[in-house]
Amino acid sequence: MAKKGYWIVCHISDADGAVMAAYANAARPVIDAAGGRVIIRGKPAKACEAGVNEPAIVVEFESVEKALAVYESAGYQAAVKILDQRVKRDFRIVEGV
């Protein structure tokens, strides 16, 4: 059985609400169509160590290959262009255990 793949996205700076809404409207259908499932979304209960008090999002996919393919897809990259350097994120694609 393949290990699940995850997008782990931490915002580094405050994001404009209108920009994030436009991004979400473009990204969500792409993620949903690929079977992605948002399992965490929100500000931290507490930011520890080098953490910042900005939103974090975790999206689960059936495999790390699927997570990579969705990230690299034309549909998702079109959504990323909406952010156009206006949102700073730490975006990691990680294989589950």
Condensed to tens digits (0 to 9), the pLDDT of residues 12-64 reads: 988 889 999 999 999 999 999 999 999 999 999 999 998 899 999 999 999 99
Instruction: Output the CATH code of domain 5-95.
Output: 3.30.70.100
Question: Which pLDDT score, from 0 to 100, does residue 13 have?
Answer: 86
Q: Which long-range contacts (CB under 8 A, 24 or more apart) does 26-32 make?
A: 26/75, 26/78, 26/79, 26/82, 27/76, 27/79, 27/80, 29/75, 30/70, 30/73, 30/75, 30/76, 30/79, 31/59, 31/70, 31/76
Residues 6+ apart with CB under 8 A from 73: 30, 34
User: Does residue 1 have a pLDDT over 80?
Assistant: no
pLDDT at 28: 97
- pTM of structure: 0.93
Where do the domains of the chain lie?
5-95
Does the pLDDT of residue 2 top 90, yes or no? no
pLDDT at residue 15 in the model: 82
Structure tokens, 41: 């979304």
